[in-house]
Structure 1
Amino acid sequence: MQVLRAVVGTGSVTAAAARLGYTPSAVSQQIAALEKEAGTDLLERAGRGVRPTAAGLLLTEHADAIARRVAEAETALADLLAGRTGRLSVRYFATAGAALVAPAVARLRTLHPGVQVELRLADPQDPLTDVREGRADIALVVGEDDGARDGVRLLRLLDDPYLAVLPKGHPLAARRSVDLAELADEPWVGSEWPGPCLDAQLAACAAAGFRPRFVVDSEDYLTAQGFVAAGLGVTLIPRLGLGTPHPDVTVRRLKPPTPARTILAALRPTTPAQPPLTAFIESLREAAEGGGAAPRQDARRATAR
């Protein structure tokens, strides 16, 4: 139909061929094939040139509309590939939201203001499914290390070290740092849901030669601080999950080997390069560096989410 459009626009098969870079014979063949498909003549002689029949004029008008839509599609595709438009779907877990996701989204809006960002909390029991099945472009998860797992590619962002949280006035509160083994005989307040983060704590304690005696489970960092403040026990909380410490607790670093959870970005290995996604990952890395990533050599190799 674009050949017909060129012939009608120039009024000549020869002129249309010159515009399109075809031979006149090739243009005539294209018109003949289109007339056969349409079941009617599309052109008629007019002096030394041609003019469209009613059917030819009708198809030419549709060809014009198609050409406009194709041009619009090409422009839209170029904008998408350049990162001027598009949509990025992100899954994250709560304690990564403020420290990592929020600054990364803010920077992405500066770099790619036309890209829409969808933010949702990940399913804590299955944080990778949305990425693997294409409902999300990237998910923040806790894991052992970068590489591949369950059909996704994992990129390490940072090691988030655990801190000891003690009741104010605790004998160890006067120290600048605490050896994890010194907490072996203490009552413990649970701060994690059963799963990889709790596994990281238990593995660290096992490496220090003990299993913690939990007297209460909170499964929430803020609530855990409240229980510690009330004198019910001690706990471990990752740096990103600490927030503003309770006024009646003391927070101390743990001596190396420091237990840590490794925070990863999960992506599909088949996802093509996209400027917004690349920029978002780089923004996450910058936020991670600003959030106090623990050096790799100081982070104990713990099983994590």
Structure 2
Amino acid sequence: MRNRRPTLVELEALRATITNGTTASAARRLGCSQSSISRALALLEARLGVPLFERSGRLIRPTAEALAINEELDDIFLALDRVASGMAAIPTAGRLTVAAPPAFALSLVSRLAARFRARYPEVLIQLEVVASDIVVGLVAEGRADLGITDSAPMHSGVRLEPFHSSFLACVMPADHALARHEVLCPADLAAMPCIALTRRHSMRSRIDQLFADAGVTRRVVMETSTAVSALELVRAGLGIAVMNPYPLADRRDATLVWRRFEPALEYRSCCVLPSAVPVTPHARRFQRLLSGQARAECWSPD
């Protein structure tokens, strides 16, 4: 092509597709047609001479080159945000407050904080480790710049931007009798002692309904308020748990195994952002690192 310089439309299409996971979602985000997104991505690939997505049927996954380009775009889009909002300048120093439940705070967020600090050493990061419902309140009240959750809270003061999808899985000790199965269903767990999250978790009722629909009464022997503690109870041999594998399963603990559970139940891990005020520049930077890291750590049960 004559002009190898990408257009803003092409770069927006790339960024939106990486952030939202599909060209259809990117089109909805940008308020255009899916065909225009696909066309912009094709033009961008032709200009740059590198593949930006691996395609398998209707699924696409960004290549390493695409993720690297997306990171380089951070400052460009921050500058555009500054112009749009009329800000005179975006400070590089300051504070970033992130709120997350323990499952995310002790794994994914910790790794991201190290990467963020390496790039922005002048920024003080404050990590608030709280329950998911508290995460939403902190962001809505302006006491956190960004939150992370895998629940589906309804609150007018926040909006949710998904960055990862995962599906219900069963975790158990590696030597458990059910570990030999590749896929488990409610009937397999009928007589087994189970660890469950407390009923204040939004997904608890949906998991209970899966068992009820199958005509199975789950034998819950312990309830706990966090996924991290559920995992420790499983490790202690007190029972097995049906829960979201992300991001805890990436620890690859040899003492535990994860197995797919059917019927499938999807979890959507989301960034919680304020709806009434602009998202801070540092929060946007952290969110972009988060999206890239989540795609690089794509995981599914064995």
TM-score (norm 1): 0.58
Once the two structures are superposed, the pairs formed by residues 194-233 of structure 1 within 5 Å of their partners are 194-219=200-225, 221=227, 224=230, 228=234, 232-233=238-239
- Identify the residue that residue 241 of structure 1 maps to in structure 2: 248
**Contact 2:179 2:259 (C-alpha < 8 Å) held by counterparts:** no
Whole-angstrom CA distance in 2 between matches of 1:226 and 1:109: 30
| Displacement of 1:219 | 4.4
Change (3 A) 1:112 1:171: closer
| Displacement of 1:84 | 1.5
2:133 aligned with 1:143: no
Residue 109 of structure 1: which of 117, 125, 135 is its match? 117
Once the two structures are superposed, the pairs formed by residues 70-85 of structure 1 within 5 Å of their partners are 81-85=89-93
**Contact 1:159 1:293 (C-alpha < 8 Å) held by counterparts:** no
Whole-angstrom CA distance in 2 between matches of 1:220 and 1:84: 35
| Displacement of 1:235 | 1.9
Residue 184 of structure 2: which of 178, 181, 185 is its match? 178
**Which of these two proteins has the greater Rg computed from alpha carbons?**
1
Change (3 A) 1:200 1:93: farther
- Identify the residue that residue 59 of structure 1 maps to in structure 2: none
- Which one-letter code corresponds to 1:235 in the other structure? A
Change (3 A) 1:274 1:228: closer
Residue 105 of structure 2: which of 85, 97, 101 is its match? 97
Whole-angstrom CA distance in 2 between matches of 1:97 and 1:202: 26
Percent of aligned pairs sharing the same letter: 24
TM-score (norm 2): 0.58
- Identify the residue that residue 286 of structure 1 maps to in structure 2: 292
| Displacement of 1:287 | 2.0
CA distances 1:78-101 after superposition (whole Å, capped 9, x unpaired): 999334222211111111013321
2:163 aligned with 1:162: no
**Contact 1:79 1:85 (C-alpha < 8 Å) held by counterparts:** no
- Which one-letter code corresponds to 1:104 in the other structure? L
Whole-angstrom CA distance in 2 between matches of 1:188 and 1:231: 10
**Contact 2:93 2:123 (C-alpha < 8 Å) held by counterparts:** yes
Whole-angstrom CA distance in 2 between matches of 1:226 and 1:98: 13
| Displacement of 1:283 | 0.8
Residue 127 of structure 2: which of 95, 119, 124 is its match? 119
- Identify the residue that residue 24 of structure 2 maps to in structure 1: none
- Identify the residue that residue 140 of structure 2 maps to in structure 1: 132
Q: CA RMSD in A?
A: 3.3
Whole-angstrom CA distance in 2 between matches of 1:98 and 1:229: 17
Once the two structures are superposed, the pairs formed by residues 233-272 of structure 1 within 5 Å of their partners are 233-239=239-245, 240-242=247-249, 243=251, 245=253, 247=255, 249=256, 251-272=257-278
**Contact 1:131 1:266 (C-alpha < 8 Å) held by counterparts:** yes
2:212 aligned with 1:188: no
- Which one-letter code corresponds to 2:103 in the other structure? T
- Which one-letter code corresponds to 2:93 in the other structure? T
| Displacement of 1:137 | 1.0
Whole-angstrom CA distance in 1 between matches of 2:279 and 2:133: 29
Change (3 A) 1:225 1:87: closer
Please list every run of 5 or more consecutive structure 1 residues that lacks an aligned counterpart in the other structure: 1-77, 295-305
**Contact 2:196 2:220 (C-alpha < 8 Å) held by counterparts:** yes
**Contact 1:176 1:252 (C-alpha < 8 Å) held by counterparts:** no
Secondary structure of 1:282's counterpart equals helix
CA distances 1:172-206 after superposition (whole Å, capped 9, x unpaired): 32222223442234332335564224334324434
Whole-angstrom CA distance in 1 between matches of 2:234 and 2:146: 35
Whole-angstrom CA distance in 2 between matches of 1:220 and 1:178: 23
How many residues get paired?
A: 213
Whole-angstrom CA distance in 2 between matches of 1:246 and 1:223: 18
Whole-angstrom CA distance in 1 between matches of 2:233 and 2:143: 39
- Which one-letter code corresponds to 1:216 in the other structure? M
- Which one-letter code corresponds to 2:130 in the other structure? A
Whole-angstrom CA distance in 1 between matches of 2:232 and 2:144: 35
Secondary structure of 1:143's counterpart equals coil
